C-alpha cells in the first residue's frame, strides 16, 4: 500500500520504495512503500515487533535492505543531508559529568562526531533549541542528574541543533505519563511547524497523535498503510494490512482498533487509538 505526497505543493523529502528487509533469515519488512513531504508530522504506528525501529534504521541508512530503495532529499541514505535521530531507550548514568548545553552543542556538526565550535552562533542556536523544547532552565545542569524524560528532551535538542530537515524519534512517548505525552507532542508539533522539519515519530498508540499528525504510516507484520488517519484507520484498510478482520470502533471520542484472530472475527483489544 503506497502513499502519495501531500497536496499543496509540498516537496517530497523521503521516498521509501518497495523496501524489503530480512533479519536473521526472516523477512521483517516487505513491500514497504511510502513518501514523506518536507515539514510534515508523521506518526509511525504499530505494536511491538511490527518493524518500526527497523524501518527508522532503514531511512537512516543504518539498516541494509534486501530489495527496494530509500531516497532522502532525492539521494540515497544519509547523503541526502543531516537527519536528526533520537533512538529508543537511551539513558545517561547519574554521574555523567556533562552540562546540558555543552552536550547539545556537540550536535552542531550534525552527523560528524567531534568538538562543537564555541562561537556565538552556536551558543545562540543551542539556547534557541533548548528554549523551544522548554529546557532553558536546565541548560547549566548536569546531564546525568536529569530525569529520563528530561534526558530524552535533551537528546531531541541535540538532534535538532544542526537544523536537520528530517527528525526521526523512536518511541519518545514510551515511559512518559499522560500529561508528559501531551506536552511532548505539543512541543514537537510547534518545532515541526516553526523549523519546517519533517518529524517522524514511532509509537504503539496513535491516540494522542491524531490531533497533530499530517499523516500516519501504520505498520503491521512488516507491511505499511500510509495516509491521513481517516484514510488509514478504517476496518477495510487495517484488515487488509493485518491479513485478517479488524474492527475500528469510535468510543467517547476515541477510536479503538480491535484485532480479530485469523478466521475468527471474535475480538480482543490490541491497539487503542483515538
Q: Nearer Cβ to ligand ADP, position 139 or 174? A: 174
Nearest distance from residue 219's CB to ligand ADP, in Å? 7
**Which listed range, 44-52, 66-74, 119-127, 240-248, lies at the site for Mg ion (CB under 5 A)?**
44-52
Nearest distance from residue 140's CB to ligand ADP, in Å? 35
Nearest distance from residue 138's CB to Mg ion, in Å? 27
**Which listed range, 46-54, 61-69, 90-98, 223-231, lies at the site for Mg ion (CB under 5 A)?**
46-54
Site string for ligand ADP, 42-81 (x = CB under 6 A): ----x-xxxxxxx---------------------------
Residue 184 interacts with, from Mg ion, ligand ADP, none (CB under 5-8 Å by kind): none
Q: Nearer Cβ to Mg ion, position 53 or 239? A: 53
Q: Nearer Cβ to Mg ion, position 130 or 203? A: 203
Site string for ligand ADP, 1-30 (x = CB under 6 A): ----------------------xx---x--
CB atoms within 10 A of CB 91: 10
Complete DSSP assignment for 77-120: GGGGS-EEEE-SS----TT---BHHHHHHGGGGTTS-SPPP-SH
Is 148 a binding residue for ligand ADP by CB under 6 A? The answer is: no
Nearest distance from residue 102's CB to ligand ADP, in Å? 31
Instruction: Kindly tell me which residue out of 22, 27, 47, 53 binds Mg ion, with binding defined by CB under 5 A.
Output: 53
**Which listed range, 51-59, 65-73, 110-118, 232-240, lies at the site for Mg ion (CB under 5 A)?**
51-59
Nearest distance from residue 274's CB to ligand ADP, in Å? 20
Residues 6+ apart with CB under 8 A from 25: none
Task: State the Cα–Cα distance between residues 171 and 203, nearest whole angstrom.
Answer: 5
CB atoms within 10 A of CB 120: 8
With 0-12 / 13-18 / 19 or more C-beta atoms within 10 angstroms meaning exposed / middle / buried, residue 26 is exposed
Output the residue with the shortest Cβ distance to Mg ion: 53
Nearest distance from residue 54's CB to Mg ion, in Å? 8
Nearest distance from residue 271's CB to ligand ADP, in Å? 12
* 173: nearest Cα among 258, 86, 110: 86
Write down the residue that cell numbers 481517516 correspond to.
Answer: 230
Which residues are near Mg ion by CB under 5 A? Answer: 52-53
Which residues are near ligand ADP by CB under 6 A? Answer: 23-24, 28, 46, 48-54
Amino acid at each position: 500500500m503506497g502513499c502519495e505526497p501531500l497536496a499543496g505543493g509540498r516537496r517530497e523529502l523521503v521516498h521509501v520504495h518497495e523496501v524489503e528487509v530480512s533479519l536473521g533469515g526472516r523477512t521483517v519488512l516487505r513491500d514497504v512503500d511510502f513518501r514523506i513531504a518536507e515539514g510534515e508530522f508523521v506518526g509511525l504506528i504499530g505494536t511491538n515487533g511490527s518493524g518500526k525501529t527497523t524501518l527508522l534504521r532503514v531511512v537512516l541508512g543504518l539498516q541494509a535492505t534486501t530489495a527496494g530503495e530509500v531516497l532522502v532529499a532525492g539521494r540515497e541514505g544519509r547523503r541526502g543531508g543531516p537527519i536528526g535521530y533520537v533512538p529508543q531507550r537511551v539513558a545517561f548514568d547519574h554521574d555523567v559529568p556533562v552540562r546540558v548545553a555543552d552536550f547539545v552543542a556537540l550536535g552542531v556538526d550534525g552527523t560528524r562526531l567531534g568538538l562543537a565550535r564555541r562561537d556565538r552562533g552556536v551558543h545562540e542556536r543551542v539556547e534557541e533549541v533548548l528554549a523551544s523544547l522548554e529546557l532553558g532552565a536546565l541548560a547549566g545542569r548536569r546531564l546525568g542528574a536529569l530525569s529520563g524524560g528530561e534526558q530524552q528532551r535533551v537528546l531531541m535538542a541535540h538532534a535538532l541543533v544542526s537544523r536537520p530537515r528530517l527528525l526521526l524519534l523512536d518511541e519518545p512517548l514510551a515511559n512518559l505519563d499522560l500529561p508528559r505525552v501531551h506536552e511532548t507532542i505539543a512541543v514537537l508539533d510547534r518545532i515541526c511547524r516553526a523549523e519546517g522539519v519533517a518529524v517522524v515519530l514511532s509509537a504503539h498508540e496513535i491516540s494522542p497523535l491524531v490531533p497533530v499528525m499530517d499523516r500516519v504510516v501504520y505498520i503491521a507484520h512488516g507491511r505499511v498503510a500510509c495516509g491521513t488517519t481517516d484514510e488509514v484507520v478504517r476496518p477495510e484498510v487495517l484488515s487488509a494490512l493485518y491479513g485478517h478482520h479488524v474492527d475500528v470502533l469510535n468510543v467517547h471520542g476515541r477510536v479503538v482498533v480491535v484485532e480479530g484472530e485469523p478466521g475468527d472475527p471474535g475480538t480482543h483489544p490490541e491497539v487503542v487509538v483515538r
